[in-house]
A and B are shown apart, each in its own frame.
Chain A
Amino acid sequence: EVQLVQSGAEVKKPGESLRISCQGSGYSFTSYWISWVRQMPGKGLEWMGRIDPRDSYTNYSPSFQGHVTISADKSITTVYLQWSSLKASDTAVYYCARQGYSYAFNHWGQGSLVTVSS
């Protein structure tokens, strides 16, 4: 069974750094891209960027380029989403999602709630 298990909820202050994770299991980890998707409170889905775990090639939405970093560790089948300096506007649920046929996301993590507040 394909599973994407994300790290738990985080509460941070503005300016702090953060890394959240998404561990894949039940499939060949290096065969499928993983994307991160943001959902701000009461809002829609926004694609942030993706990584190819085979070679760690990444590309980002123009809206998120330079604001976050996506990385992967093949040895532990885990993908990360990282901020160096959080803002209150980063408060959201973040989902990881695995690529399937026709570039659709056929498997999703359970979501990680990030709250940034002073």
Chain B
Amino acid sequence: EIVLTQSPGSLSLSPGERATLSCRASQSVSNNYLAWYQQKPGQAPRLLIYGASTRATGTPDRFSGSGSGTDFTLTISRLEPEDVAVYYCQQYGRSLFTFGPGTKVDIK
């Protein structure tokens, strides 16, 4: 089973700043089956990025995904107040899905 580690655990930035979230896998993620989700309090998760770098329908272009193999990054180019949420990465491989523990993003 592939284990995902996310860093940092939390970050607090000012509006307009750049946020860089990391997701590291214990083994190579096959075919870049790596996705990112945003979850706001009391809501279901929402898909932001799939295939490591493709924005899902409705994802603002300030969100971008990159990476391959074992190291992946979600970047929010200019943080907005509505981006306050927990962000999870998720992978699929060998018939199993796993989620990372999440990164909490706050506004200063």
Task: Kindly state whether residue B72 has any CB partner on chain A within 8 Å.
Answer: no
Task: Kindly state whether residue A71 has any CB partner on chain B within 8 Å.
Answer: no
Task: Kindly state whether residue B33 has any CB partner on chain A within 8 Å.
Answer: yes
Across the interface, do A102 and B97 meet the contact criterion of CB distance under 8 Å?
Answer: no
- Binding-face segment, A12-20, A43-51, A75-83: A43-51
Across the interface, do B92 and A103 meet the contact criterion of CB distance under 8 Å?
Answer: yes
Q: A100: which B residues are within 8 A, CB to CB?
A: 47, 50, 56
Across the interface, do A44 and B88 meet the contact criterion of CB distance under 8 Å?
Answer: yes
Chain A minimum-CB-distance residue to B46: A108
Whole-angstrom CA separation of A103 from B2 in the bound complex = 15
| Contact residues of B: prevailing secondary structure | strand
Across the interface, do A47 and B97 meet the contact criterion of CB distance under 8 Å?
Answer: yes
Chain A minimum-CB-distance residue to B50: A104
Q: A46: which B residues are within 8 A, CB to CB?
A: 99
22 contacts between A and B (CB under 8 A): A37-B45, A44-B86, A44-B88, A44-B99, A44-B101, A45-B39, A50-B97, A61-B97, A100-B50, A102-B50, A102-B54, A102-B92, A103-B92, A104-B33, A104-B35, A104-B47, A104-B90, A105-B37, A106-B50, A108-B44, A108-B45, A108-B46
